[in-house]
Amino acid sequence: MRKLLLAFSLIIVFSFAKSQNLTPRQFFPDLFEAVQLSDIFPDNKTFVDAIPKRDPALIMKDYNEQKNKSDFDLKQFVTNNFIIPGAQKNIFKSDINKGIREHIDTLWHVLYRRHDTVSKYSSLVPLPNDYIVPGGRFRETYYWDSYFTMLGLRESHQYKVIQNMINNFAYLIDKFGFIPNGNRTYYLTRSQPPFFSMMLDVLAKDEGEQVIAKYQPELLKEYAFWMSGANKLKPGQAYRNSVRMADGEILNRYWDESDKPREESFKKDVDAEKLTKQKAGDFYRNIRAAAESGWDFSTRWMDTTGKLETIQTTFIIPVDLNCLLYHLELSIAKSYQLQGNAAKYNAYLTKALLRKKAILKYSWSEKNGWFMDYNWKLKHATPQQSLAGVFPLEFKIANTKQAASVAAGLKTKFLKAGGLVTTFKRSGQQWDSPNAWAPLQYMAIDGLNNYHQSGLARSIAENWIRTNLEVFNSTGKLMEKYDVVDTNVKAGGGEYPLQDGFGWTNGVLLNLLNRYHLDQL
């Protein structure tokens, strides 16, 4: 009897735990589709972030009983049964006269979220510590955003917040085996660019390099996620995030476990699928894989036409992703070195050196003088040059000649009045021209400094800081992205309106202000 009760209690606990990870579409089948395909909310993310006011089963029971009645009002039903996210009650108003530094210091408080305020049926995944969100429609913690936010938090001496956020990511790795795109149930099928090992480098500057050994279990688990199934692949095969190249090397791609429309962009995905020649599942997976990259969307994932319906993210070996995984391998090697485990140190160092060799082999384009993405299906470089090509400089993978070529390309092609443009293509996608993003400015500037290209690095920093300050002085805001070709125009493109806040913009700006002492330009 005792064993029976124990088994029953375990079933209850497991069922409850599983229910906590259900997505809005799983909780509210049919209702979800009705809302997301309607025009109730202009942004599909609104409904998936809404908080049910009561048990989802009861909401669905009422919906099924009422939906076919002639006087049924879908919008009113949703309003009655959900707390709709929107503008904060106490809207923050910036004071330009107090200057950019005080503005950023205040924003850390505005973007701060308590960990213990998660509603039972919310799509928000609870975390053990408080954290910083990007801002605007992004109401949760985001993986790669957080690294660049931490750069600014460190400048603001917010060491405890950095530690809390790293512990949150370690918790997510221990719980799910990887760090999701964000702490939402609808993000649990994919990760984002793996910056966790880079975050530990930030922490190590103040806590010492032993933190790398401390988080070794999580580093290994994240590595296992990205490398899942790699050892069983034959040349020309892929499984999840791993690809074995034609000559036997293992490199990585972006991937999502789901082949359904993204819940947070459901209608846009459904509409876009109607234009593609791909199988629906393949198209949705390519869309989702691009979302995992953080570059959603860019012509770097598309064919020569640059049209969204040709997206082929899962065919592409991204240079930036593999540079990050190179750093992860080096970090794991370092963790073993700190423990005195020479065999494991050498094993992971060898993995890193093999990846470095493969990056140079497949990503360097002598023709373009640039590091390119590689299409492993077609066995050639992809057609679009992008700012992802600076990552081999940040991680010291490029040789001196290659770094000089990249620097020349940055100066003559990418550098505009407002900073570095993301690509040369004007597609209407937000990760294309004329838009620029803080994380890519930082990686370029930092990478150039690694190769003693300090003059160009400073020029880029000056242009970027000037753009940020001019927009702040005219609007009182720091934006998610900027138009750097015509700095008098707001950045656009993409699936949603321009967002302000903004975590990684604040972090990179404060880091560069302190590095170059350029408060006034």
Rounded to an integer, what distance in angstroms lies between the CA atom of residue 441 and that of residue 508?
A: 8
Assigned domain for 375 exists: no
User: Phi and psi dihedrals of 51, rounded to 5?
Assistant: -105, 120
User: Phi and psi dihedrals of 153, rounded to 5?
Assistant: -60, -35
**DSSP letter (8 states) at residue 513:** H
| Residue 45 domain boundaries | 20-83
Looking at 296, 329, 373, 432, which residue is catalytic? Answer: 296
Rounded to an integer, what distance in angstroms lies between the CA atom of residue 26 and that of residue 516?
A: 50
> Which of 83, 105, 126 is the last residue before a domain boundary?
83
- Strands 238-239 and 419-420, sheet pairing: unpaired
Give the containing element (helix H, strand E) for 440.
helix 438-450
pLDDT tens digit at each of 521 positions of the chain: 444 443 443 333 333 334 469 999 999 999 999 999 998 999 999 999 999 999 999 999 999 999 999 999 999 999 999 999 985 555 677 788 889 999 999 999 999 999 988 888 999 999 999 999 999 999 999 999 999 999 999 999 999 999 999 999 999 999 999 999 999 999 999 999 999 999 999 999 999 999 999 999 999 999 999 999 999 999 999 999 999 999 999 999 999 999 999 999 999 999 999 999 999 999 999 999 999 999 999 999 999 999 999 999 999 999 999 999 999 999 999 999 999 999 999 999 999 999 999 999 999 999 999 999 999 999 999 999 999 999 999 999 999 999 999 999 999 999 999 999 999 999 999 999 999 999 999 999 999 999 999 999 999 999 999 999 999 999 999 999 999 999 999 998 888 888 989 999 999 999 999 999 987 66
| Contact (CB, 8 A) for 348 and 236 | no
Q: Which residue is associated with the tokens 């819940």?
A: 263
Assigned domain for 4 exists: no
Looking at 264, 269, 329, 480, which residue is catalytic? Answer: 480
494: left (phi over 0), alpha (psi -120 to 50) or beta: left
242 DSSP β-pair partners:
239, 252
Assigned domain for 89 exists: no
| Average model confidence (pLDDT) across the chain | 94
Assigned domain for 370 exists: no
Rounded to an integer, what distance in angstroms lies between the CA atom of residue 122 and that of residue 486?
A: 41
Assigned domain for 317 exists: no
65 in active site: no
| Contact (CB, 8 A) for 386 and 409 | no
Assigned domain for 63 exists: yes
Number of domains present in the structure of the chain: 2
Assigned domain for 303 exists: no
User: Phi and psi dihedrals of 21, rounded to 5?
Assistant: -105, 10
Taking Cα atoms as reference points, which of 483, 479, 371, 370 lies closest to residue 419?
483
**DSSP letter (8 states) at residue 485:** S
435 DSSP β-pair partners:
483
Rounded to an integer, what distance in angstroms lies between the CA atom of residue 183 and that of residue 13?
A: 21
Assigned domain for 57 exists: yes
480 in active site: yes
Residues in CB range of 122: below 8 A, 6 or more apart: 51, 52
Rounded to an integer, what distance in angstroms lies between the CA atom of residue 347 and that of residue 333?
A: 8
Q: How far, in Å, are 130, 211, 212, 407 from residue 391 at the CA level? A: 30, 24, 22, 12
Rounded to an integer, what distance in angstroms lies between the CA atom of residue 383 and that of residue 29?
A: 41
> Which of 64, 83, 102 is the last residue before a domain boundary?
83
The model's pTM is 0.95
Q: Which residue is associated with the tokens 């190249």?
A: 245
What does the block give as tokens for 88?
């904060």
Instruction: Work out the angle at residue 363's Cα, subtended by the Cα atoms of residues 381 and 143, and round it to the nearest 5 degrees.
Output: 105
> Which of 42, 57, 83 is the last residue before a domain boundary?
83
**DSSP letter (8 states) at residue 413:** I
Amino acid identity at 194: P
**Mind listing the pLDDT tens digit for each residue in 404-449?**
999 999 999 999 999 999 999 999 999 999 999 999 999 999 999 9
Taking Cα atoms as reference points, which of 332, 331, 451 lies closest to residue 390?
451
